Amino acid sequence: MEQFDYIIIGAGSAGCTLANRLGEDRAKRILIVEAGPMDRNLLIHVPAGVYKAWREPKFNWNYDTEPEPELLNQQVFMPRGKVLGGSSSINSMVYMRGHPLDFDGWEQECGLPGWGYAHCLPYFKAGESYNRGGDAWRGGEGPLGTCKGDYENPLYDAFVQAGEEAGQGYTDDLNGYQPEGVARLDATKRDGRRCSAAVAHLRPALARGNVSLITRAMVERIDIAQGRAQGITYRHRGALHQARASGEVILSGGALNSPHLLMLSGIGPAAHLKEHGIACLVDAPDVGQNLQDHASIILQFESRKHYPIHTVDRPWNKAMAGLRWVFTRDGIAASNIWEAGGLVRGNDHVAYPNLQYHMGPVGFEYVGNKITLSQAFAIHVDQLRPRSRGELRLRSANPGDKPLMQFNYLSDPHDLKELVEGVHKCRDLVAQGAFDALRGAEMIPGPHVKSDEEIAQWVRGVTTTDFHPSCTCRMGPDDRAVVDGECRVKGVEGLRVVDASVMPRITSANLNAPTQMIAARAADFIAGRPQRAPEYPGFAFEA
Residue 168 located in a structural domain: yes
Closest CA to 80 of 521, 479, 500, 503: 500
Alpha carbon distance 334, 248 (integer Å): 40
Alpha carbon distance 81, 84 (integer Å): 8
Name the pLDDT band for 65 (thresholds 50, 70, 90): very high
Is-catalytic flag, 310? Answer: no
**How far is CA 51 from each of CA 199, 337, 351, 372, rounded to the nearest angstrom?**
19, 10, 35, 11
Q: Which residues are annotated as a binding site?
A: 83, 91-94, 219
Assess whether pLDDT exceeds 80 at residue 171.
yes
Residue 215 located in a structural domain: no
Alpha carbon distance 71, 67 (integer Å): 8
Give the count of beta carbons closer than 10 Å to the beta carbon of residue 57.
9
Residue 156 located in a structural domain: yes
Q: Can you give the pLDDT at residue 489?
A: 98
Residue 134 located in a structural domain: no
Report the phi/psi class of residue 345: left, alpha or beta, with left for phi > 0 and alpha for psi in -120 to 50.
Answer: beta
Alpha carbon distance 384, 468 (integer Å): 10
Give the count of beta carbons closer than 10 Å to the beta carbon of residue 281.
18
Predicted structure pTM score: 0.97
Answer whether 427's CB lies under 8 Å from 445's CB.
no
pLDDT tens digits for 368-426?
778 899 999 999 999 999 999 999 999 999 999 999 999 999 999 999 999 999 999 99
Q: Which residues are annotated as a binding site for FAD?
A: 83, 91-94, 219
Q: Can you give the pLDDT at residue 344?
A: 98
Assess whether pLDDT exceeds 90 at residue 52.
no
Assess whether pLDDT exceeds 60 at residue 299.
yes
What b/e sequence results for 406-416 when a residue is b if at least 16 CB atoms lie within 10 Å of its CB, and e otherwise? Answer: bbbbbbeeebb
Give the whole-number percent of the chain exceeding pLDDT 90: 96
Alpha carbon distance 392, 289 (integer Å): 6
Assess whether pLDDT exceeds 80 at residue 543.
no
Q: What is the mean pLDDT of residues 328-342?
A: 96
| Average model confidence (pLDDT) across the chain | 97
Residue 128 located in a structural domain: no
Sorted by sequence, the CB contacts under 8 Å of residue 87 that are 6+ apart come out as: 12, 13, 79, 80, 81, 254, 467, 512
263 exposed, middle or buried (CB, 10 Å; 0-12, 13-18, 19+)? buried
**Could you list the residue range(s) of the whole structural domain that residue 433 is in?**
150-184+295-383+410-462
Residue 396 located in a structural domain: no
In 228-290, alpha helices (H):
254-264, 270-275
pLDDT tens digits for 459-505?
999 999 999 999 999 999 999 999 999 999 999 999 999 999 999 99
Q: Can you give the pLDDT at residue 36?
A: 97
Assess whether pLDDT exceeds 70 at residue 59.
yes
- Which segments of 157-275 are extended strands (E)? 181-184, 186-187, 189-190, 193-194, 211-214, 217-225, 228-236, 239-251, 267-268
Q: Can you give the pLDDT at residue 55?
A: 81
DSSP string, 54-88: TT-GGGB--EEPPPBGGGTTB--EE--B-STTGGG
Sorted by sequence, the CB contacts under 8 Å of residue 128 that are 6+ apart come out as: 95, 138, 139, 142, 144, 145, 146
Q: What is the mean pLDDT of residues 142-146?
A: 98
pLDDT tens digits for 92-102?
999 999 999 99
| Number of domains the chain contains | 1
Name the pLDDT band for 285 (thresholds 50, 70, 90): very high
SS3 421: helix
Q: Which of 45, 358, 380, 468 is catalytic?
A: 468
Return the CATH number at 348: 3.30.410.40
Q: Can you give the pLDDT at residue 370?
A: 81
Of the listed ranges 6-20, 55-69, 359-373, 401-415, the least confidently predicted one is 359-373
pLDDT tens digits for 73-92?
999 999 999 999 999 999 99
Answer whether 323's CB lies under 8 Å from 422's CB.
no
Give the count of beta carbons closer than 10 Å to the beta carbon of residue 30.
24
Residue 53 located in a structural domain: no
Alpha carbon distance 474, 501 (integer Å): 6
Residue 73 located in a structural domain: no
Q: How many helices and strands (H and E) does the chain possess?
A: 14, 28
Q: Can you give the pLDDT at residue 425?
A: 98
Answer whether 66's CB lies under 8 Å from 19's CB.
no
Give the count of beta carbons closer than 10 Å to the beta carbon of residue 489.
25
Cis-peptide into 445, omega within 30 deg: yes
SS3 251: strand
